[in-house]
Amino acid sequence: MLHGAALMVRREVIEKIGLMPEVYFLYYEEVDWCSSAKKLGYELWIVASSVVYHKESMSIGKNSPFKTYYMTRGRILYLRRNTEGLKKLSWIIFYVALTIPKNLLNYLLMRDFKNLKSFIRGVRWNLTLLPPLYSFVFSIFLC
């Protein structure tokens, strides 16, 4: 899947797919949009020789709670919107069994309580939109 700071697309693609989903606000919106294009049969290409100057995280900071919140929120939202069946079950198990405990432990050990809180908020944002069973499984690790 493509992600990045610069995309070039034909107008017909935008007219057919629509604009990038605003629910993301920040992070993963272009990945989700490219997934939609691919599902509709469009090919995704990169031009390896192109140069794009992009100062990643300059406005919000590389290790900011703001970034942690939106990156966590967007990653889970993307997986929820773009997986189903066994793939969905796999990422939920992976996230609950490995990603959540690893991040919680990492932030605790580093005494980075601001990013810890932002990580939990990013996961919880997704819980408000999940069916009861998924919400129950995630909440076990965030109580």
Distances (CA, A) of 36 to 9, 18, 39: 13, 9, 5
Instruction: pLDDT tens for the chain, 143 residues: list them.
Output: 666 678 888 999 999 999 998 888 888 999 999 999 999 999 988 888 888 887 766 667 778 999 999 999 999 999 999 998 899 999 999 999 999 999 999 999 999 999 999 999 999 999 886 555 555 555 555 54
pTM: 0.81
Element (H, E) at 82: helix 65-82
